[in-house]
Copies of this chain bind each other. A is one copy, B any other.
Amino acid sequence: MKINKNYLNLEASYLFSTIANKVKAYSEANPGKHIIKLGIGDVTLPLCKDVVIAMERAVLEMGVQDTFRGYGPEQGYDFLKTPIKEYYSKHNVSLDIDEIFISDGAKSDLGNILDLFDTDNTVLVQDPVYPVYVDTNIMAGRKIKYLNSNAENGFLPLPTENDKADIIYLCSPNNPTGAVYNKEQLKQWVDFALENNSIILFDAAYECFISDETLPRSIFEIEGAKKCAIEFCSFSKTAGFTGTRCGYTVVPKDLVYEDTMINKLWLRRQTTKFNGVPYIVQKGAAAIFTENGQKEIMENINYYKENAKIITDALDKLGIWYTGGTNSPYIWLKCPNGMKSWEFFDYLLNNVQIVGTPGSGFGENGEGYFRLTSFGSRENTIEAMDRLLKHSLANV
């Protein structure tokens, strides 16, 4: 038996384990110090009440003969797909219900979708990048091209002739930079994809953080996108589902390559290699879309957005350059005084006991940058920024 040797080309990622080790070492050497973690992308607020009630009910249903549910549709229940369809229509995107596929999260489907595409396709990702886009394509042996995302282009690069590729990843609001494409910029990407017969894999996992009504939450707000894009979304950040696992993928029926409907290929993939998301979890996700559910999750999202404002206010006072923070849970800052990413990591840990993520962990263009997240508690976020402000960074 021959293994898939592409796996041997994967680089081991030590980013988060290195962070954990450094934090552990510091913590052991300085047992009295309170370390504040603003590095990871996981949420901290619990599930909202309506989601809990809906899941409790669903659990009880599963224990009673008459309401027990066995195998559900692999592509998800209509009781969840219907409110998602309505959510899109509020943003002027009209979808058919069979263009929506319920998933166990954006990460799974972002990897699994690649099943449908020839390994001979070239892939375009931005640097810095969410590592999953890169690793899943290395696993399949695809050629990867990198597009510079940097301060000059505001971490929102636009396509040029050099960037032609078959599969294009876009993430907006971006992880890790927090930058958000506007409609005109996204239109350039859609036109570029249509001209070059490319497909765009649009990661919309952070769309719920967009407050600016002029910014697109979905690529399907852009004309022509249904002919060249698949959208991945998740309830992880929208409703704190990181440990509950539910999201959705939108595959328009207008998406046709080599005379083949991608929607049909995906349905075939899912019915063959997937058995759907738990009934209980889908019931919980559906509760997000009730009037009260929407109110509750907006309270949580606003809590994180206020955290982001606390962080960006502090950075403004300190004169530190950043992207994100307004329509995104991530704040991507330039390390002060020309420090490198890991240098700044050590500096913050040692001087103010704040943990963030070194930008260089997301790619070469991340060097000299640093990611903070707004997913911490209010108390910790305030305390961390107080420490930053009190500790004059001029000392660096």
A→B interface (CB under 8 Å): 1-5, 7-8, 10, 42-49, 51-52, 55-56, 59-60, 62-65, 67-72, 104-105, 107-108, 111-112, 115-121, 132, 135-136, 139, 166-167, 197-199, 240, 242-245, 257-258, 260, 262, 265, 268-269, 272-281
CB-based contact A243/B1 at 8 Å: no
Task: Give the 8 A-B residue pairs with the shortest CB-CB distance, closest first.
Answer: A111-B273, A52-B63, A2-B118, A46-B68, A42-B70, A69-B243, A70-B242, A1-B166
Tell me which residues across on chain B come within 8 A of A65, comparing CB atoms.
Answer: 44-46
CB-based contact B139/A280 at 8 Å: no
Residue in chain B with minimal CB distance to A74: B107
CB-based contact A258/B2 at 8 Å: yes
CB-based contact A44/B70 at 8 Å: yes
CB-based contact B199/A1 at 8 Å: yes
Tell me which residues across on chain B come within 8 A of A265, comparing CB atoms.
Answer: 3-4, 7
Residue in chain B with minimal CB distance to A244: B278
State whether A275 and B105 are in contact (beta carbons under 8 Å apart), knowing that A60-B56, A68-B46 are contacts in the complex. yes
CB distance from A378 to the nearest CB of B (A): 12
Residue in chain B with minimal CB distance to A56: B59
CB-based contact A108/B68 at 8 Å: no
CB-based contact B279/A1 at 8 Å: no
CA gap between A67 and B5 in the complex, in Å: 42
State whether A1 and B198 are in contact (beta carbons under 8 Å apart), knowing that A115-B139, A274-B108, A278-B281 are contacts in the complex. yes
A-B contact list, 7 entries, CB within 8 Å = A3-B257, A7-B260, A42-B71, A46-B65, A62-B244, A68-B243, A104-B104
CA gap between A62 and B56 in the complex, in Å: 11
Since A3-B262, A245-B276 are in contact, a sample of 9 more A-B pairs with Cβ atoms closer than 8 Å, ordered by chain A residue number, is A3-B117, A4-B116, A46-B64, A47-B68, A52-B60, A68-B240, A68-B243, A104-B275, A244-B278
CA gap between A225 and B368 in the complex, in Å: 50
CB-based contact B52/A243 at 8 Å: no
CB-based contact B243/A3 at 8 Å: no
CB distance from A183 to the nearest CB of B (A): 24
CB distance from A50 to the nearest CB of B (A): 10
CB distance from A56 to the nearest CB of B (A): 5
Which listed residue (B71, B117, B198) contacts A243, Cβ 8 A? B71
Residue in chain B with minimal CB distance to A247: B275
Tell me which residues across on chain B come within 8 A of A108, comparing CB atoms.
Answer: 273-275
Which listed residue (B45, B68, B262) contacts A45, Cβ 8 A? B68
Residue in chain B with minimal CB distance to A61: B46
CB-based contact B3/A115 at 8 Å: no
Tell me which residues across on chain B come within 8 A of A10, comparing CB atoms.
Answer: 268
Q: Which of A71, A116, A167, A279 has the most CB of B within 10 A?
A: A71
Tell me which residues across on chain B come within 8 A of A120, comparing CB atoms.
Answer: 2
CB distance from A260 to the nearest CB of B (A): 5
CA gap between A167 and B1 in the complex, in Å: 7
Residue in chain B with minimal CB distance to A12: B268
Tell me which residues across on chain B come within 8 A of A119, comparing CB atoms.
Answer: 4
Tell me which residues across on chain B come within 8 A of A64, comparing CB atoms.
Answer: 46
Residue in chain B with minimal CB distance to A166: B1
CA gap between A43 and B65 in the complex, in Å: 11
CA gap between A4 and B108 in the complex, in Å: 19
Which listed residue (B4, B42, B243) contacts A62, Cβ 8 A? B243
Tell me which residues across on chain B come within 8 A of A117, comparing CB atoms.
Answer: 1-4
